[in-house]
Amino acid sequence: MRILSEIIQSHTEGKKLLAILIDPDKMEVSNVASFFSEVNRSAITHILVGGSEVAHGKTETLVKKIKEQTTLPIVLFPGDVSQITEYADGLLFLSLLSGENPEYLVAQQVKAAHQLKETSLEVMPTGYLLIDGGVETAVQRVSETAPIANSDIDRAVDTAYAAQLMGKQLVYLEAGSGAVQSVPVEMIRRTKAMISIPLIVGGGIRDVETLENIYAAGADMVVIGTAFEQDARFFEQLQLKRYSL
C-alpha cells in the first residue's frame, strides 16, 4: 500500500506511528549500517530524511545507503528543493503555513514541480506549522518566519483547519529540531479535535513519557531526531515500553 494510505489507515484505526528524522548533515554514511541495525529492531515505522540546511547531493547519497539497510518507507522532509531525490519512496510536500513567508508557502513548491513530475516519489501535501519551541530553531532561522506562540492555540487550530480546507492530506505541528519545549499537549488535543486528517507532531521530544503524552493528545505520527542522535539508550527505552505501534 502507498505510504499516505497506510498513514490514513493507521489514523482511522488509532494505531500510532513513529518516525525517526535523519539529518544528512549529521549522519555519516559510514555509520548508517550500524545505526540501522538498531532502527530495524525498534518500533520505528517511517524514516524521514531532511534538514534545514543540507549540502547539495548529500541527501541522495544518504538515502541510497539507507535504502540498502531497511525496508521501512523513506520519506523526504526537505528544507528546500535541493534535497529532493528520486531514490526515496515519498516526500512530505510541505507548505509552511505559519509565518506567511511566500518562499516556503509556495515558491519552493513551484521550483520543485518539474522535478516531481519526472519522479515516482509519492508526494504528500502537508500543512506545516512552526510552533514556538522555546529557542530559535533552524526552521525559524532559515525560513525567516515567526513561529506561532505556544499560548496561541486558536491560531494553531485555525491554521491547521485551513490546511485541511486547502486540501492538505496531513498536518504537521513542528516545534523545531532541538526545541526545548515540544508542542503543548493542549494544542495537539484541540488541533486533533478540529481536523479529520492525520496529525504529525515533532520537535524537542526526548523521553518516552512526553512521547506517550503526545500520542494520548492525538498525534498519529511522532517525529524524533535529536533523542536518537544523542542517546543510543533512547532505542532501549522504547524497547522496554514494548510498543506495538
Q: Which residues bind ligand 1GP (CB under 6 A)?
A: 21, 174, 176-179, 202-205, 223-227
Residue number, 86 or 185, with CB nearest to ligand 1GP? 185
Q: Is 190 helix (H, G, I), strand (E, B) or coil?
A: helix
Residue number, 178 or 184, with CB nearest to ligand 1GP? 178
Residue number, 43 or 119, with CB nearest to ligand 1GP? 43
CB of 175 to ligand 1GP, least distance (A): 7
Report the C-alpha gap between 62 and 150 in whole angstroms: 34
Residue number, 21 or 199, with CB nearest to ligand 1GP? 21
CA distances from 15 to 36, 70, 166, 182, 235 (A): 23, 21, 26, 21, 20
* Nearest residue relative to ligand 1GP (C-beta): 202
Report the C-alpha gap between 29 and 39 in whole angstroms: 15
Report the C-alpha gap between 48 and 4 in whole angstroms: 14
β-pair partners for 76: 49, 91
Report the C-alpha gap between 168 and 104 in whole angstroms: 15
C-alpha cell at 181: 519545549
CB of 25 to ligand 1GP, least distance (A): 12
Residue number, 74 or 224, with CB nearest to ligand 1GP? 224
CB of 71 to ligand 1GP, least distance (A): 22
CB of 118 to ligand 1GP, least distance (A): 28
CB of 114 to ligand 1GP, least distance (A): 27
Report the C-alpha gap between 234 and 211 in whole angstroms: 12
